Every structure is written in structure tokens, then in C-alpha cells.
Amino acid sequence: MAIFIQHCKELLTPLFPGNGKIQRLKNASLIIEDNLISWVGSDHDCPSPEPGDQVIDGTNQILTPGLIDSHTHLVFAGDRSGEFIQRTQGATYQQISASGGGIASTVTKTREASAYDLLRTARPRVNRWMEQGVTTLEIKSGYGLTTESELKLLRVIRQLKKEVPIDISATFLGAHDIPAEFKENRTDYIQKIITEMIPAVSAENLAEAVDVFCETGVYSISESRLILESALHHKLKIKVHADELSALGGASLAAQLNGLSADHLLCITDQGINDLTNSETVAILLPGTAWFLKMPYAPARKLLDSGICVALATDFNPGSCTIDQFSFILMLAALYMNMTPDEILSAVTVNAAKALDRETETGKLAPGYRADLVLWNAPSWEHIIYHPTHNHAGKVFASGKLIYQSEIWNECLFL
């Protein structure tokens, strides 16, 4: 039985990762067979449904690929609202970390939490992403920082993957911080990551990639390199939290090691931009973090104008960005990073797919691609960016399966 989605007001899809170009087709149809897209085109060229096929009327709706959030830390325990209030009174994120708060405080709570409790709290978060049209979601570990508790987090992510109908990509981030008990002998912790954690993650096939928080006071360039080379040795892909709070050179490191992505880049230098330009590494920008930390935004225009493949993601986590509304991230990208609507759509579909090594599977509406798509109850893609505080997702399909639907049209607020 095929599913026909017909008479869409507009269908929007990127064609290739990279340049932010979007193909727009008015009065469009799309056919899903099994879990794949089998046909895309104009209403008047659309083959006729056969008896037994399902027909969905997309009149007045917008059709796009399912969204991809390529950077989250959404499995953790506890909240850090106290630190947030300290920041409103002048303390900086780095000062709070240096005095034992920050990531360390979430680590304490997460170590104490059972796998069951972590799963119980993460599950509704994933539902929230699905309801907003997210059909591929990356989740990092990184709040355990012992072999046992990092494996606990990754097994929770594996369990989420089994329970939910969307695609989840797990990343091992044991190098998220130096745990308090290793502050005086950090090289021992790095050795533990290399000789114990990465081999265990690889043996249980618990992650696709390894990430490092390459930052002044956290992991230096040479320490990050050691960890990432060990990941490559174990056939894991690599990602880097790069040039987030200071210009350490993480973007260049990611490019040199052929990483899937260099993430954050608030402080990227011209050298970093140059190195990314000459690489296949995707720049994942996280404007919610800049907003939440009151920092200058990543130089998105410079990156885009240099031809770098740019993705946008939430970075959802308890310390540097609690925004769980993807469309709000899109508004920040438009308002403060001067990205166009087409660049924004590419950044949360095909470019994000590339950052997760999935660009041949998902991220665009074309025959043979996974049927991950969203029919929006909105008059245009631009409207979703402009009015982000409401959820405009009308029907969300993941691998050809309807996973969420809503009849609510918030657009009426604007009539």
C-alpha cells in the first residue's frame, strides 16, 4: 500500500549538501512506498493511486524533509537553574565551571541516576523533538565521565533508539570535561578514555562517533588529537566541540582529521575558516548557545560565503542551552546570523544529514531516500521561522510511518 501526499501548496527540498540551494515546487505531490520516497513531482504528473493506497490531501500545507537535530546532549539528570540565575547576576559560564559547578554538577546528578530514571526523563524529550518534525536526532553521552556511567548513558541512548520510531545517532563524549577526581592527574583520565572507554564503546557498538570538548581549560589541541586518533583507530567517526568559548583551533583539528563536524565555532579564526573550506567537515552552528550564554554568534555568513557546509542544531543541554524548540533556533539563525530561509532549511536537513554521515539516506525529498518528511500547517517555510513559538508540524512521517499529527493551525493568529 502506497501513501500519496497530494496538492501540497509548496514542496521544498535541498538537492545537495553544501550550498543552501532549495528547490521549490508549487502544487506538488509525493509518494511513499514502504519506508522510502518513490516519487516526487507536480500534481498534474502524479500517477493515480490504486485501490488500497492511502491519499493525504496537502492543500494549503507545506512539505519539507524531516528535520535533523545533529547536536544534542539530551540524556542527563538534574537542572542548573541556580547557575542560570548566577549568570543573570554577572557570573560567567567559565567562572561557574571553575568553581566546581557547570558540567561537573550535572555529572554528579547523572552518576547518581539509574538507567531507568535517565530513560524515563529522556523519553518525553525525544517525543518533543518528534512532534516538532525531527526525524533524525543525534545524542551525546558525556555526563558520566567514568567507564561505567558513560556506558550507562550510551545504553540508555541505545534503548531510546529501540523504543522510538525516529533515527537516533549516538556520540561518545567521555572527553566532555576532566572529572573532579582526575583534576590533578588529567593524563590518567585521557589514558582511561583511550585504553578503556573507547575500546568498550566500540566493542559494544554503542556509538557512531567520538566527540571532544576542545577548549581552554578543558582538552587542549594535543590531548584532543590523541583521543580523536584513538577513535579513528577503532573505526569511529569524529566530531569536535570547537572554538566555542575561545579560539583554540579545534575547527582546524576537525578538518585535519577529516571529522564529520566542527561544532559551535563562536570564536573561529580565519585560519579555522580556511581549513574548513578545504575539507569535507560540516560546521554545526548552535545559535541557541550563543543566545543563552549571551556570547557573540558564530560568523555564519563568513562560513557560508566561504562555501562551507553549514548545519544548525539545538545543543540542548542543562547548562549552555535549554531551548527545546527547534524553530526558535531557526529564528536566531535568521535574525542574528543573517542566514536565508533556504540556507536554514538546508542546515537542518541535507547538511545536518552530512554531519551525521547520512546524506545518502535522508535529508531530502527524492526517490530512494528514506520517507522522513513533514507536512506543515503553515502558509510558508518562512512563516515557521518567523513564528517559532508555536509548533506548526501537521503530519510527521519517519521511515514512511506517520508518527505525529495535529490539526492545529496557529496561522489563524495572524489573519
206, 169 in Cβ contact below 8 A? no
Residue 400 interacts, among Fe ion, ligand NIG, none and using kind-specific CB cut-offs from 5 to 8 Å, with none
The answer to whether 106 contacts ligand NIG (rule: CB under 6 A) is yes
CB of 259 or CB of 319, closer to ligand NIG = 319
- Of 17-25, 48-56, 156-164, 311-319, the window that binds ligand NIG (rule: CB under 6 A) is 311-319
In 3D space, the residue among 243, 232, 245 whose CA is nearest the CA of residue 276 turns out to be: 243
CB of 316 or CB of 376, closer to ligand NIG = 316
In 3D space, the residue among 259, 199, 261, 273 whose CA is nearest the CA of residue 225 turns out to be: 259
- 259: helix, coil or strand? coil
The answer to whether 383 contacts ligand NIG (rule: CB under 6 A) is no
In 3D space, the residue among 283, 276, 264 whose CA is nearest the CA of residue 355 turns out to be: 283
Q: What is the 3-state secondary structure (H, E, C) of 154-219?
A: HHHHHHHHHHCCCEEEEEEEEECCCCHHHCCCHHHHHHHHHHHHHHHHHHCCCCCEEEEEECCCCE
371, 396 in Cβ contact below 8 A? no
- Of 101-109, 112-120, 149-157, 199-207, the window that binds ligand NIG (rule: CB under 6 A) is 101-109
CB of 275 or CB of 315, closer to Fe ion = 315
Residue 155 phi/psi, 5° resolution? -70, -30
The answer to whether 319 contacts ligand NIG (rule: CB under 6 A) is yes
Beta strands in 1-43 (DSSP E): 2-14, 22-33, 36-42
Q: Kindly tell me which residue out of 150, 244, 342, 359 binds ligand NIG, with binding defined by CB under 6 A.
A: 244
Binding mask 251-290 for ligand NIG (x = CB under 6 A): --------------------------------------x-
The answer to whether 87 contacts ligand NIG (rule: CB under 6 A) is no
The answer to whether 172 contacts ligand NIG (rule: CB under 6 A) is no
Kindly report the number of other CB atoms within 10 A of residue 386's CB atom: 16
CB of 243 to ligand NIG, least distance (A): 11
Decide the pairing of beta strands 54-57 and 2-14: parallel
Residue 213 interacts, among ligand NIG, Fe ion, none and using kind-specific CB cut-offs from 5 to 8 Å, with ligand NIG
Q: Kindly tell me which residue out of 14, 17, 65, 102 binds ligand NIG, with binding defined by CB under 6 A.
A: 102
CB of 125 to Fe ion, least distance (A): 15
Kindly report the number of other CB atoms within 10 A of residue 212's CB atom: 31
The answer to whether 315 contacts ligand NIG (rule: CB under 6 A) is yes
Q: Kindly tell me which residue out of 103, 157, 214, 310 binds ligand NIG, with binding defined by CB under 6 A.
A: 103
Residue 69 interacts, among ligand NIG, Fe ion, none and using kind-specific CB cut-offs from 5 to 8 Å, with none
Residue 394 interacts, among Fe ion, ligand NIG, none and using kind-specific CB cut-offs from 5 to 8 Å, with none
CA dihedral for 110, 113, 115, 120, sign (positive or negative) = negative
Residues paired with residue 3 on neighbouring β-strands, in sequence order: 32, 54
Q: What is the 3-state secondary structure (H, E, C) of 263-295?
A: EECCCCCHHHHHHHHCCCCEEEECHHHHHHHCC
The answer to whether 318 contacts ligand NIG (rule: CB under 6 A) is yes
CB of 315 to Fe ion, least distance (A): 4
How far, in Å, CA of 41 to CA of 367, rounded?
A: 10
Decide the pairing of beta strands 67-69 and 134-140: parallel
CB of 150 or CB of 315, closer to Fe ion = 315
**Of 1-30, which residues contact ligand NIG (CB under 6 A)?**
none
Residue 106 interacts, among Fe ion, ligand NIG, none and using kind-specific CB cut-offs from 5 to 8 Å, with ligand NIG
Residue 101 interacts, among Fe ion, ligand NIG, none and using kind-specific CB cut-offs from 5 to 8 Å, with none
CB of 317 or CB of 325, closer to ligand NIG = 317
| Residue numbers at the binding site for ligand NIG (CB under 6 A) | 73, 102-103, 106, 213, 241, 244, 289, 315, 317-320
